Amino acid sequence: MKKYQDHFFKKAKQEQYPARSVYKLKEIHNQFKFFTRGQRVLDLGAAPGSWTLYAAEQVGPTGVVLGVDLQETSTGFPPQVIFLQDDVFEPSPVLQELLQIHSPFDVIISDMAPRTTGVKFADQARSHDLCLAALALARSHLVHGGRFVVKVFMGPDSKALQMDMQQSFKTVKIHKPKSSRSESKEIFYVGLDFQGAPV
Ligand code: SAM
């Protein structure tokens, strides 16, 4: 299995993506085809920037990708990318303004992950909180019919999250990318056809 992981690591280097995680998004996109030219995309947990770069390639120069992360990145992005160091739990006034300017987004993607503590339940709970923060942003800033991709660490709250998403999306699919580490508990929920926040 190690060889398989090295393969994605090397491939990312060759193709000039800063992280191997880009292949997870590519796989998800190959299946669900949610990006098109000119779209507005919100990328949560964007550093170091491989999802942002891929989204920027897909939407092209007429699109916009707003990438947000707690951490800075030194990755060079094309002009359609705005990268902001910020916290989804406490959006700064700058982030709030950018969200207003660029809303509604056609696609919102979240690869956010907490800094792991090694305590399984604590890590799962923190990941769940990040998923809820991403879903709340999707409910406020996604266009009707829009798409939402969120990384989930499978745990006791995952089913509740799926049901919560089903209240806002016509379809919620589950995807486990081949390029995820086999031992990883991560899966992705893909919400298709946004219907609005539940009343
Ligand atoms: N998608 C990225 C890429 O392809 O380069 C990799 C993302 S990495 C797996 C997860 C990111 O989530 C980390 O960079 C982390 O800083 C970010 N993150 C965690 N908590 C966050 C929060 N509260 N607000 C914003 N970003 C957060």
- The string of pLDDT tens digits covering residues 16-67 is 999 999 999 999 999 999 999 999 999 999 999 999 999 999 999 999 999 9
Question: Known binder of ligand: residue 45?
Answer: no
21 CB under 6 A from ligand 1? yes
151 included as an active-site residue: yes
Q: Which of 151, 159, 170, 185 is catalytic?
A: 151
Q: Are 39 and 59 in contact (CB under 8 A)?
A: yes
* 103 secondary structure, DSSP code: P
Span from the CA of 167 to the centroid of ligand 1 (angstroms): 26
- The string of pLDDT tens digits covering residues 108-141 is 999 999 998 888 889 899 999 999 999 999 999 9
User: Which atom of ligand 1 is nearest to 25's Cα?
Assistant: 4
Nearest alpha carbon, ligand 1 atom 13? 45
Helix (H, G, I), strand (E, B) or coil at 75: coil
Fold classification of 2-194 (topology level): Rossmann fold (3.40.50)
Span from the CA of 145 to the centroid of ligand 1 (angstroms): 26
Asked whether the predicted pLDDT for residue 183 surpasses 80, the reply is no
Span from the CA of 164 to the centroid of ligand 1 (angstroms): 22
Nearest alpha carbon, ligand 1 atom 21? 70
For residues 172-195, give the mean pLDDT: 89
Structure tokens belonging to residue 172: 């919620």
Which spans in 45-166 are helix H?
50-59, 93-102, 120-141, 158-166
113 CB under 6 A from ligand 1? yes
E strand intervals along the chain: 40-44, 64-69, 81-85, 105-110, 142-153, 169-175, 186-194
Between β-strands 186-194 and 169-175, what pairing exists: parallel, antiparallel or unpaired?
A: antiparallel
In this predicted structure, which of 37-41, 101-105, 114-118, 146-150 has the lowest mean pLDDT?
A: 114-118
